[in-house]
């Protein structure tokens, strides 16, 4: 009986062996070969030597600024400046906006309000 079991076990269990051929012909990748051959055959078209001239402007340096000219009669200009009376800025009378308080009462009220203690929160039991 053991021989029958051994015989049937050998038939039923398939043997796991390599059935894929790994020869050099099978490992060849046709897509890669085509790609490499196209890369080797590619020859870029030669560009003209002045091809970049259309996209680049020629540089011209800006004109240097002119030096300011001093007045020809400097002594009379200085004497005229010294003779002028200095203008002292006058205080412009500012008119208060409509509804705005005049004086510092509003400011003092606001500051005293800020200095007051905050009301204490009622503790809930």
Query: Using an 8 Å Cβ cutoff, are 77 and 71 in contact?
Result: yes
Mean of pLDDT values over 113-121: 82
Q: How many helices (H) and strands (E) does the chain have?
A: 4, 0
Bigger pLDDT: 5 or 110? 110
Place of tokens 């004109």: 63
pLDDT higher than threshold 80 for residue 7: no
Q: How far apart are CA 52 and CA 63, in angstroms?
A: 27
Bigger pLDDT: 11 or 36? 36
Q: What is the pLDDT of residue 66?
A: 92
Share of the chain above pLDDT 90, in %: 19
Q: What is the pLDDT of residue 100?
A: 53
Q: What is the pLDDT of residue 33?
A: 92
Mean of pLDDT values over 9-38: 70
Instruction: Retrieve residue 110's tokens.
Output: 């606001």
Q: What is the pLDDT of residue 95?
A: 57
Q: What is the pLDDT of residue 34?
A: 92
**Alpha carbon of 97 to those of 41, 63, 94, 105, 107: distances in Å?**
86, 54, 9, 16, 16
Bigger pLDDT: 113 or 7? 113
């Amino acid at each position: 009986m053991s021989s029958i079991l051994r015989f049937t076990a050998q038939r039923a269990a398939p043997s796991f062996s390599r059935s894929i051929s790994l020869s050099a012909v099978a490992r060849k990748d046709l897509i890669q070969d085509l790609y490499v051959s196209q890369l080797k055959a590619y020859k870029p078209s030669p560009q003209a030597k002045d091809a970049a001239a259309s996209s680049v402007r020629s540089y011209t340096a800006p004109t240097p600024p002119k030096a300011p000219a001093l007045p020809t009669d400097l002594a009379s200009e200085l004497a005229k400046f010294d003779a002028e009376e200095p203008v002292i800025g006058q205080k412009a009378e500012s008119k208060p906006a409509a509804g705005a308080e005049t004086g510092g009462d509003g400011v003092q009220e606001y500051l005293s309000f800020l200095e007051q203690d905050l009301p204490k929160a009622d503790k809930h039991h």
